[in-house]
Amino acid sequence: MPDTTPDTDAAPDTASDADDPRLDDSRELERPETLPAHMQDAPDEHTELYERIVESLSDIYDPEIPVNIFDLGLIYNIDIHDDAHVDVLMTLTAPNCPAAGILPGQAEDAVRLTEGVKSVYLELTFHPPFSPQMMSEEAQLELGFM
């Protein structure tokens, strides 16, 4: 599995970003090959819901890259709360990505329409910035990075 350690040299854009624990560039990003660490001990219903959400997100493709947004590494985190509310943290391949106007909405809709989800909040971030190392091994192979 490729090294997914984000670049920690990037400075936050604002002072308020520096205080936001969700933007901690030292965290290890989750990869689709296994359940993320925070889901390992989750109740079975959360694990099943997580898998359905990943499946829903895997149906959305970046219009310029023939890889779904989950395998592409654009989904940084999926948090499932006991009340079936889901928080999603995602990024884009670049801040000026041509799909910036559509991909976040498509992802939010896909999660919202997933069986078992009551509500969703999707946050778009650029910390850490996207890099090809965030892609799944399958995506890297498909795009010739391996």
Q: Global pTM?
A: 0.72
- pLDDT band, residue 120 (cuts 50/70/90): very high
Residue 101 lies in a domain: yes
The domain total for the chain is: 1
> What's 70's domain CATH number?
3.30.300.130
Domain that holds residue 58: 38-142
User: What are the contacts of 116-119 at 24+ separation with CB within 8 A?
Assistant: 116/45, 116/48, 116/49, 116/52, 116/84, 117/49, 117/53, 117/84, 117/86, 118/83, 118/84, 118/85, 119/84, 119/85, 119/86
Q: What pLDDT is stored for residue 10 in this prediction?
A: 41
Is residue 15, in this structure, part of any structural domain at all?
A: no
- Which is more confidently placed, 15 or 130? 130
Looking at residue 22, what is its pLDDT? 43
Is the pLDDT at 17 greater than 80? The verdict is no
73 lies in some domain: yes
pLDDT above 90: percentage of residues in the chain: 49
Encode pLDDT of 38-49 as tens digits.
Answer: 777 767 788 899
